[in-house]
Amino acid sequence: MKIGVVGLGYVGIVTSAVLANQGHHIIGVDIDQKRVDGLNCSVNPIYEPGLDELLKKNTGRLFFTTDYSFLREVDLAFISVSTPTVNGEIYLDYVFSAAKSLSKVLRKDAVIVMKSTVLPGTSRKVREITGIETVSNPEFLKEGTAIEDSIRPDRVVIGSTSKEAGDLVEEVWKFTNAPILRTTPEEAEMIKYAANSFLAMKVSFINEIANLCEKIPGCDVNNIAKGIGFDKRISPYFLRAGLGWGGSCFPKDTLAIASYARSMGTPLRLVEAAIQVNNERPRKAVGLLKEMMGSLKDRRICVLGVAFKPDTDDTRESVSIKIIRLLKEDGATVFAYDPKAKTDLAQMTSLDECVNMSEGVIIATEWKEFIGIEEKLKGKYVVDGRRILNPSVLGYKFRAIGLGE
């Protein structure tokens, strides 16, 4: 098929590469000329394991442009532009502007596929505005494992009002062999929010249990997670206690659905509580350090990990960034190290230098590189925010999330 992809962010680039690899011809459109030029020379603006190789391997089937008129011949066009939260509410202008541009160039029998995370009713609205069949096909890929998640998703959700339009989208994803769920567009849109909110809630839940475990000598939240995770109704996934969830999806999606639900007069109280619990995590990390060190004024602190999670250079809504800000507010001098991500907020240096120059260390992201560094940390005040260190090696100058003293 000839496929258009509008919005070359994380989802757009990965979708382009994965579908080109399935033999489709992809025309990717973005307003950012630099990004487009780069992608046409296989210069990929994001770090995602395996993505560079996939883009290079399929250059013959990938073309990137800022000009929508190249989409005249496509059979379907994905919309994968960002849907940020502005003042606590979802901002949909990028989606509608992409839809309007598509309506001017697409064949009347083409199909628009909504990949961006949008509130229930948005895909239907796009169909009305454009006069073109629009299918909701939410994306569930995770950064760091995006390609694997796209090729082998747990499920594919296709929400359409037209059976034929839904069938065309089904055709595209049938190679994944994943269960395919056909729904209304509104249900598909709601599934995405419900999934992200539920996962965010699960993590906030285990983080609250972690807070309680810290008060109970002999109690380790990791063992609690293991113990409850064996129960199939709970499952062992998304039960890692830590400094909370960040990234480009959970924070914005939980806020958007909570605000939408309130506007409908049916607040999602559990989701709101999950957000509140999450908002307290950065202060929690700094608090643990202060319990050991006292005032942080003029003290040198190193934050290990800047990305919102390992295997990505993405710092959007990263808990680490919030921790750095809090440390600076307390008057600390902050150093940071991350294998991929960068920040201007702290002095960034090598792992060894960062640790050696500091009195206190906070592990904010669980990069593999930080596993087994206990020897380097000896003598420092350490907060293990992601539970990757062996407490028995570090002794009394050590606090870990969810570990009772």
Site string for ligand UDX, 300-339 (x = CB under 6 A): --------xx------------------------------
54: CB partners within 8 A, 6+ apart: 17, 18, 20, 21, 147
> Which of 231-239's residues contact partners 24+ apart within 8 Å by CB, and which partners?
238/199, 238/202, 238/203, 239/202, 239/203, 239/206
Could you tell me the smallest distance in angstroms from the CB atom of residue 94 to ligand UDX?
A: 17
Question: Is 309 flagged in the annotation as binding?
Answer: yes
Say whether residue 246 binds ligand UDX (CB under 6 A).
yes
Could you tell me the smallest distance in angstroms from the CB atom of residue 219 to ligand UDX?
A: 19
Give the binding range for ligand UDX (CB under 6 A) out of 52-60, 75-83, 232-240, 393-401.
232-240
Q: Which is nearer to ligand UDX, 143 or 220 (CB)?
A: 143
In the chain, what is the greatest distance between 2 CA atoms, to the nearest angstrom? 69
Q: Tell me, what amino acid is at 210?
A: A
Say whether residue 249 binds ligand UDX (CB under 6 A).
yes
- What 3-state class would DSSP assign to 240? coil
Say whether residue 238 binds ligand UDX (CB under 6 A).
yes
Question: Is 192 flagged in the annotation as binding?
Answer: yes
Angle made by CA atoms 384, 387, 392, in degrees to the nearest 5: 80
Say whether residue 210 binds ligand UDX (CB under 6 A).
no
Say whether residue 258 binds ligand UDX (CB under 6 A).
no
Say whether residue 205 binds ligand UDX (CB under 6 A).
no
Question: Is 239 flagged in the annotation as binding?
Answer: yes
Say whether residue 5 binds ligand UDX (CB under 6 A).
no
Q: Which is nearer to ligand UDX, 194 or 293 (CB)?
A: 194
**Is 41 part of the annotated catalytic residue set?**
no
Q: Determine the Cα–Cα distance for residues 52 and 260; give it in Å rounded to an integer.
A: 37
Could you tell me the smallest distance in angstroms from the CB atom of residue 317 to ligand UDX?
A: 8
Say whether residue 47 binds ligand UDX (CB under 6 A).
no
With CB under 6 A as the rule, give the number of residues binding ligand UDX. 19
What single string gives the DSSP state of each residue in 386-403?
SS-S-HHHHTTSEEETTB
Q: Which is nearer to ligand UDX, 2 or 142 (CB)?
A: 142
Angle made by CA atoms 2, 176, 3, in degrees to the nearest 5: 10
Chain centroid, CA 104 distance in Å: 32
Tokens 């066009």 -> residue: 77
Angle made by CA atoms 60, 64, 67, in degrees to the nearest 5: 135
Say whether residue 402 binds ligand UDX (CB under 6 A).
no
Tokens encoding 294: 């006292």
Give the binding range for ligand UDX (CB under 6 A) out of 80-88, 101-109, 122-130, 247-255.
247-255
CB 378 within 8 A of CB 186: no
368: CB partners within 8 A, 6+ apart: 310
213, 219, 249, 302: the catalytic one is 249
Site string for ligand UDX, 151-190 (x = CB under 6 A): ----------------------------------------
Which residues on neighbouring strands pair with residue 304, listed in sequence order? Answer: 337, 363
Q: What is the 3-state secondary structure (H, E, C) of 151-166?
A: HCCCCEEEECCCHHHH
Q: State which of residues 247, 282, 305, 360 lies at the interface with ligand UDX (CB under 6 A).
A: 247
> What is the CB neighbour count within 10 angstroms for residue 242?
25
Tokens encoding 246: 């960040």
Chain centroid, CA 89 distance in Å: 18
Q: Which is nearer to ligand UDX, 316 or 328 (CB)?
A: 316
Q: State which of residues 75, 139, 214, 338 lies at the interface with ligand UDX (CB under 6 A).
A: 139
Angle between helix 221-229 and 185-213 (nearest 10): 140
- Binding residue ranges for substrate: 140-143, 192, 238-242, 246, 309
- Binding residue ranges for NAD(+): 30, 35, 83, 117, 143, 252, 316
So which residues are the catalytic ones? 249
| Residues at the site binding ligand UDX, with contacts judged by CB under 6 A | 139-143, 196, 199, 203, 238-240, 242, 245-247, 249-250, 308-309
